[in-house]
Amino acid sequence: MSKNSEYLIERENKQYEVIIGLEVHAQVTSESKLFSQSSTKFGAEPNTQVSLVDAAFPGMLPVINEFCIEQAIKTGIGLKAKINKKSVFDRKNYFYADLPQGYQISQYKYPIVGEGKVILDMPNGQKEIGIERLHLEQDAGKSIHDIDPNNTLVDLNRSGVALMEIVSKPDLRSPDEVNVYIKKLRSIMRYLGTCDGNMQEGSLRADVNVSVRLKGETEFGTRCEIKNVNSIKFMQMAIISEANRQIDLLEEGKEIDQETRLFDTKRNETRSMRSKEDAHDYRYFPDPDLLPLEISQELIEKIKSDIPELPDEKKKRFIDKFNLSPYEATILVSDIETSNFFEDVIKNSDVKLATNWITGELFAVLNEKNLEISQSPVSTKNLSKLINLIKDGTISGKIAKTVFEQMIDGDQDPLIIVKEKGLKQESDPKAIEELINKVIENNSDKVAEYKSGKDKLFGFFVGQAMKESKGKGNPQLINKILKEKLNG
Amino acid sequence: MSDITSQSLFELTSNIKEKKLSSEEITKVFIDRAEKSKKLNVYVTDNFEKAIDQSKKFDSNPNFDLKLPGIPIAVKDLFCTNGVRTTAGSKILNNFVPTYESTVTQNLWSQGAILLGKLNCDEFAMGSSNETSFFGNVQNPVGENLVPGGSSGGSSAAVAANLTPVTIGTDTGGSIRQPASFTGTVGLKPTYGSCSRYGVVAFASSLDQAGPMTKNVRDCSMLLEVISSFDQKDSTSIDYKRNCYSKELSKDIKGKKIGIPKEYRVDNMPDEIEQLWKNGISYAKDCGAEIIDISLPHTNYALPTYYIVAPAEASSNLARYDGVKYGFRSPGQNLIEMYEKTRSEGFGDEVKRRIMIGTYVLSSGYYDAYYLKAQKVRQLIKKDFDDAFSKVDAILTPSTPSSAFKIGEKTNDPVSMYLNDIFTVPINLAGLPGISIPAGKDKNNYPLGLQVIGKPFDEQNILNISYALEDKINFKNDISDWWVSE
Amino acid sequence: MTIDLKTVKHISKLARISIDDEKANKLKGDLNNIFEFIEKLNELNTDNVQALTSIAETTLRFRKDEIKSENIREKILKNSPEENKDFFVVPKVVE
């Protein structure tokens, strides 16, 4: 990274660097839970997706979901990580109202996936972020504090849902990098179909580790962990606020306590989460109800053979094959739905025009209407028809915009719009010449001015000719004939 | 026909199949006897009314192809039974009624058995004398104010006192075999993974196994055949071909190699135990078995290992009893206070002691020194047995270092209580099958047992050896109905 | 090594079991007796021994990703100490 783009926080001639590591909790897209057969579906009535196992009734035992294991391996492969053929499920012991077993089944010493990496496309080049590990674990239930004024209510629908915890190395250095990292991780998992990445529904959350140090320092400072932040915006706010808090402490000559903190989104500040007396001691030990998880090479190979083209590879292909700029390619591959949309459109139409129309007009509409590309009001079929109309000169780019505006309303066929509204471009040289003659006749004074050297007036004549054609005149032809007439 | 309640399971099933007895008749006789035997305190919860209904139902449409046709059976109160209170001998589950059935008990009912009731046991199966039960201690029918052993003390007493034809218990460190030994009955702990743990209140998951407790070896083989099954719902259940134990039962043990481990000759072992063991060895020889001296060098480390592993697992397994979802709750101003009061008032002293030990050995800074160390020693103990079983087919030892003791005698000294399990614990640590059969009596006329230990999944072999020894020993339990009130 | 009163109280806090001073003192004695007996393991050198991870002679079995989609809320909540038809209820938690 070039020096001037470094993210530094300044204090009286001093510059602090912010060190960030993320523990992302990604919900595995599975039908049933990690160790039980309850549904994982979002939004059900409280406690209706709870089995005896999820509620930790006496004598209930966990049986592992094969699909969740495969999804973890798949994600590991997507992160270019080492798949561990033997891993162990441990119990993480602590008491909480929404943790029915009194422990969470997780992986501690021996995770299913080891070291990997994620490549970030930053404005000034690529940056590699190391992945420390990925492990499988159970989600907890939900404590609800705002229904009953005197009690906390517990809903166990989420209890036991499979999560992948993806731990990054402390390689992130700015809120911007965090933004790009989360989006990239989300993109990879969506390409793989291992996590839907839906942050509103809590399918993707993160614990953020933040520490600060003076620029140039090589040792890490004491870090604090901000728990369970559920949007990128809040992660960025939390990082900035927490980094500044730590710097303030250092500036006052105080020490930073290593602790778990909570981000208060209303007050935009982090605060200590649990009292010291309750210092964490999770008493991890291998879950005796489960055996070590052994994965065969065959299974790994089978999953490998099913891995689709991932964003980095797709981006390279788009650049090499379609001659897109890295910037354009990055945008088009950022989301699997977008890249699929793009590839569908260019099956039958021009790549350059398709790129411009998708990243330009279409994205503007989606943004304005707050839609995902999967909900695009214009289908790939009709968009490629529109592009072909431009390409073969049937309509001008300007007319195309008018047509597009109408297409949005119920995915109308551009061919029909052009026909019904008579928007077809006038490309007959005779007809163009006729209307240009008319313009010249009607503006003899301007013609004289032009001929005496006022070149700027050329644009005026183009405008008049276009007006005369009711906007349908082929611009290239108008230009060409006008030039001949005026300069000849 | 002899008194119905004193009949073996084999006799009762034969009599039912031959229509000499009806299920209702049998069920009622056991219920009558139970009503007169309250002094033993074997039942925590009875199911008498429903049992009679079910026996009538069986008689109206009997299926004699079943292995336990209309046989009433009481089970240890550690098995979850659908619609019938299950307490695990604890105040914390005093009011808990499961909506589900353990696999092992389901296997009983699927073969025609009828639930008589739930038998007293040490709280969460932690104890060797049934004195830690919230529901009070159990009297050993062998003698007044004598403990029946534990933790399956209600079960052993019920079988010995003819209150149930057979029963099932659970064994984590000796909880089937030690009470069997104390009451002159037969108890078998199967290979780890033979009987499903689904629906059995957990004590220490890597050690717990359910098993049969019966009057004789044949009954034991019949019951094991019913309860041992592969279960998808238990990830530690093992899918292997189980024998038809009762059909394949044989006294022919000629040429079997039986190992005698020198390390089981512990300091201060009473002479009568030593004598019992010698007798067992000579009976085995009489049956044509070959006796081989073997060594299990890490035997002395088994008990300390057990008292790390079992409490560690228990401390975590019992975390779910927190007053939130079921069971006892003591109100608190806040969540933490509710937890602390609930668990303090809901658990008894021994359970709390073990939770504390387990919490400590897993806590930060001590894990390696205790838990990891114990898991390594456990490996050594297992290897001892692997080595021994490369030379022998089975191992013969005493079941316990003493006979039944008086109620209250050891309650204030946890370590001396723990020493009761010195001969049984290594078998759980190694996951092996072990059976205790009555083999003699001490000077007080209290029963003593011998233990036969087998290779993994070799239950048939230890049953056969026990069957042969049982025949030679010809043990007769000398029980007067001293507790019976008319 | 010996376990002091402070440790006993810390452990009881971790285990969420409240104990008064009298009980704590009694427990301290019991635990020290038990640990004295456990310390016997230190006689053994286990540096080159692999810890036993499972006694079951099998590998972890996988289950298919299938839903058994019965809503058993009533059963799940039936035994709960504080009655509520939708939720488990605990004293107010202030985070």
Whether A458 has a pLDDT exceeding 50, the answer reads yes
For residue B321, give the nearest of B96, B126, B122, B99 by alpha carbon.
B96
Q: What amino acid is encoded at B118 in this protein?
A: K
Closest chain C residue by Cα to residue B86: C79
ipTM over 0.90: yes
Q: Residue B96: which of C79, C91, C93 has the nearest Cβ?
A: C79
pLDDT in tens, B49-70: 999 999 999 999 999 999 999 9
- Residues B210 and B171: their CA atoms lie apart, in Å, by 6
CA of A387 to nearest chain B CA: how many angstroms apart?
58
Q: Inter-chain contact B325–A55, Cβ cutoff 8 Å? A: yes
Whether A192 has a pLDDT exceeding 90, the answer reads yes
Q: Inter-chain contact B205–A62, Cβ cutoff 8 Å? A: no
Q: Residue C17: which of B236, B352, B357 has the nearest Cβ?
A: B352
Please state the three-class secondary structure of chain A as a single string.
Answer: CCHHHCCEEEECCEEEEEEEEEEEEEECCCCECCCCCCECCCCCCCCCCCCCCCCCCCCCCCCCEHHHHHHHHHHHHHCCCCECCEECCEEEECCCCCCCCCEEEECCCCCCECCEEEEEEECCEEEEEEEEEEEEEECCCEEECCCCCCEEEEECCCCCCEEEEEEECCCECCHHHHHHHHHHHHHHHHHHCCCCCCCCCCCEEEEEEEEEEECCCCCCCCCEEEEEECCHHHHHHHHHHHHHHHHHHHHCCCCCCCCEEEEECCCCEEEECCCHHHCCCCCCEECCCCCCEECCHHHHHHHHHCCCCCHHHHHHHHHHHHCCCHHHHHHHHCCHHHHHHHHHHCCCCCHHHHHHHHHHHHHHHHHHHCCCHHHCCCCHHHHHHHHHHHHCCCCCHHHHHHHHHHHCCCCCCHHHHHHHHCCCCECCHHHHHHHHHHHHHHCHHHHHHHHCCCHHHHHHHHHHHHHHCCCCECHHHHHHHHHHHHHC
Q: Read off φ and ψ for residue B176, nearest 5 degrees.
A: -100, -45
pLDDT band at C57 (very low <50, low <70, confident <90, very high): confident
Q: What is the reported pLDDT for B353?
A: 96
Mean pLDDT score, B402-407: 96
Average pLDDT in chain A = 93
Q: Inter-chain contact C52–B375, Cβ cutoff 8 Å? A: yes
Where do we find the tokens 């079995």? C61
Of A176-190, B128-142, C58-72, the one with minimum mean pLDDT is C58-72
Q: What is the reported pLDDT for C1?
A: 64
Percent of chain B with pLDDT over 90: 95
CATH number for B9: 3.90.1300.10
Per-window interface: A 410-429 vs C, CB < 8 A: none
Q: Residue A100: which of B198, B232, B325 has the nearest Cβ?
A: B325
Q: Which long-range contacts (CB under 8 A, 24 or more apart) does B106-111 make?
A: B106/B199, B107/B226, B107/B227, B107/B229, B108/B68, B108/B73, B108/B75, B108/B168, B108/B226, B108/B227, B111/B66, B111/B67, B111/B68, B111/B69, B111/B226
Closest chain A residue by Cα to residue C79: A57
**3-class state of residue B87 by DSSP:** coil
Q: Inter-chain contact A45–C86, Cβ cutoff 8 Å? A: yes
Q: Residue A153: which of C53, C72, C87 has the nearest Cβ?
A: C87
**Rg over CA atoms, chain B:** 21
Judge whether B356 and C16 are in contact, CB under 8 Å.
no
Where do we find the tokens 């209820």? C89
pLDDT in tens, B423-435: 999 999 999 999 9
- Residues B152 and B129: their CA atoms lie apart, in Å, by 9
Q: What is the reported pLDDT for A277?
A: 43
CA of A314 to nearest chain C CA: how many angstroms apart?
30
Whether A3 has a pLDDT exceeding 60, the answer reads no
**3-class state of residue B306 by DSSP:** helix
Q: What is the reported pLDDT for A476?
A: 85
Task: Say yes or no: C16 contacts chain A, CB-CB below 8 A.
Answer: yes
Q: Inter-chain contact C71–A66, Cβ cutoff 8 Å? A: no
- Residues B463 and A123: their CA atoms lie apart, in Å, by 76
Q: Inter-chain contact A291–B233, Cβ cutoff 8 Å? A: no
Task: Say yes or no: A63 contacts chain C, CB-CB below 8 A.
Answer: yes
Chain C neighbours (≥3 Cβ pairs under 8 A) are A, B
| Residue C56 counted as domain residue | no
| Residue C27 counted as domain residue | yes
Cis omega before residue B151 (within 30°)?
yes
For residue A32, give the nearest of A77, A73, A64, A74 by alpha carbon.
A64
pLDDT in tens, B247-263: 999 999 999 999 999 99
- Residues A384 and A414: their CA atoms lie apart, in Å, by 10
Mutation pick from A54, A60, A285 vs chain B, by most beta carbons of B within 10 Å, is A285
The continuous run of DSSP H or E covering C78 comes out as helix C73-78
Q: Inter-chain contact B320–A97, Cβ cutoff 8 Å? A: no
Burial class (CB in 10 A: 0-12, 13-18, 19+), B187: buried
b/e per residue, C35-44, with b = 16+ CB within 10 A? bebbeebeeb
Q: Residue A58: which of B201, B206, B367 has the nearest Cβ?
A: B201
Per-window interface: A 67-106 vs B, CB < 8 A: 91, 93, 95, 97, 100-103
For residue B118, list chain A residues with Cβ-Cβ distance below 8 A: none
- Residues A165 and A184: their CA atoms lie apart, in Å, by 16
| Residue B105 counted as domain residue | yes
Q: Inter-chain contact C16–B238, Cβ cutoff 8 Å? A: no
Q: What is the reported pLDDT for B486?
A: 77
Q: What is the reported pLDDT for A486?
A: 84
Q: Inter-chain contact C49–B376, Cβ cutoff 8 Å? A: yes
Whether B475 has a pLDDT exceeding 60, the answer reads yes
| Residue B354 counted as domain residue | no
- Is A429-487 a domain of CATH 1.10.10.410? yes
Mean pLDDT score, A66-89: 98
Judge whether A98 and A154 are in contact, CB under 8 Å.
yes
For residue A84, list chain C residues with Cβ-Cβ distance below 8 A: none
Per-window interface: A 92-111 vs C, CB < 8 A: 95, 97
Q: Inter-chain contact C55–B429, Cβ cutoff 8 Å? A: yes
Q: Inter-chain contact A151–C64, Cβ cutoff 8 Å? A: no
Q: Which long-range contacts (CB under 8 A, 24 or more apart) does A87-90 make?
A: A87/A111, A87/A112, A87/A135, A87/A292, A87/A293, A87/A295, A88/A286, A88/A292, A88/A293, A88/C53, A89/A64, A89/A136, A89/A286, A89/A287, A89/A290, A89/A293, A90/A284, A90/A285, A90/A286, A90/A287
pLDDT in tens, B287-338: 999 999 999 999 999 999 999 999 999 999 999 999 999 999 999 999 999 9
Whether B240 has a pLDDT exceeding 50, the answer reads yes
| Residue C24 counted as domain residue | yes
The continuous run of DSSP H or E covering B72 comes out as strand B72-76
Whether B242 has a pLDDT exceeding 50, the answer reads yes
Task: Say yes or no: C44 contacts chain B, CB-CB below 8 A.
Answer: yes
pLDDT band at A482 (very low <50, low <70, confident <90, very high): confident
Q: Residue C60: which of B235, B239, B301 has the nearest Cβ?
A: B235
Whether A456 has a pLDDT exceeding 80, the answer reads yes
Q: Inter-chain contact A150–C61, Cβ cutoff 8 Å? A: no
Q: What is the reported pLDDT for C54?
A: 85
Give me the number of domains chain C comprises.
1
Q: What is the reported pLDDT for A2?
A: 42
Q: What is the reported pLDDT for A428?
A: 84
Burial class (CB in 10 A: 0-12, 13-18, 19+), A13: exposed
Task: Say yes or no: C64 contacts chain B, CB-CB below 8 A.
Answer: no
Average pLDDT in chain B = 97
Q: How many CB pairs under 8 A join A and C?
A: 116
pLDDT band at A393 (very low <50, low <70, confident <90, very high): confident
Whether A279 has a pLDDT exceeding 70, the answer reads no
pLDDT in tens, B143-187: 999 999 999 999 999 999 999 999 999 999 999 999 999 999 999
pLDDT in tens, B95-122: 999 999 999 999 999 999 999 999 999 9
Which structural domain range is residue C26 located in? 5-43
For residue A145, list chain C residues with Cβ-Cβ distance below 8 A: 92-95
pLDDT in tens, A108-166: 999 999 999 999 999 888 999 999 999 999 999 999 999 999 899 999 999 999 999 99
Burial class (CB in 10 A: 0-12, 13-18, 19+), B71: buried
| Residue B108 counted as domain residue | yes
Closest chain C residue by Cα to residue B95: C79
Give the global pTM.
0.92
For residue A50, list chain C residues with Cβ-Cβ distance below 8 A: 72-73, 76
Task: Say yes or no: C57 contacts chain B, CB-CB below 8 A.
Answer: yes
| Residue B370 counted as domain residue | no
Q: Inter-chain contact B362–A285, Cβ cutoff 8 Å? A: yes
Closest chain A residue by Cα to residue C77: A47
Q: Inter-chain contact C52–B378, Cβ cutoff 8 Å? A: yes
- Residues B43 and B133: their CA atoms lie apart, in Å, by 12
Q: If you write DSSP's letter for every residue of B103-135 in order, what string do you get?
A: HHHHHHHHTT-EEEEEE--SGGG--SSSTT-TT
Give me the number of domains chain B comprises.
1
pLDDT band at B267 (very low <50, low <70, confident <90, very high): confident
Q: Inter-chain contact C63–A30, Cβ cutoff 8 Å? A: no
Which structural domain range is residue B186 located in? 4-253+460-473
Q: Which residues of B are catalytic?
A: 76, 151, 175
**B87: Cβ–Cβ under 8 A, 6 or more apart, which residues?**
B44, B45, B77, B93, B94, B96, B118, B134, B135
Whether A331 has a pLDDT exceeding 80, the answer reads yes
The CA–CA distances, whole Å, from C66 to B24, B123, C48, C62 equal: 43, 37, 43, 12
Residues of B with CB under 8 A from a CB of A: 80, 86, 88, 93, 96, 98-100, 102, 197-202, 204-206, 232-236, 312-313, 315-316, 318-320, 322, 324-326, 335-336, 339, 359, 362-364, 367, 371
pLDDT band at A381 (very low <50, low <70, confident <90, very high): very high
For residue C5, list chain B residues with Cβ-Cβ distance below 8 A: none
Whether A275 has a pLDDT exceeding 60, the answer reads no
Mean pLDDT score, B412-420: 88
Q: Residue A262: which of C16, C72, C95 has the nearest Cβ?
A: C95
For residue B228, give the nearest of B116, B115, B103 by alpha carbon.
B103
Closest chain C residue by Cα to residue B338: C91
Whether B210 has a pLDDT exceeding 60, the answer reads yes
Whether B243 has a pLDDT exceeding 80, the answer reads yes
Comma-separated ranges of CATH 1.10.10.410 domains in chain A: 429-487
Closest chain C residue by Cα to residue B93: C79
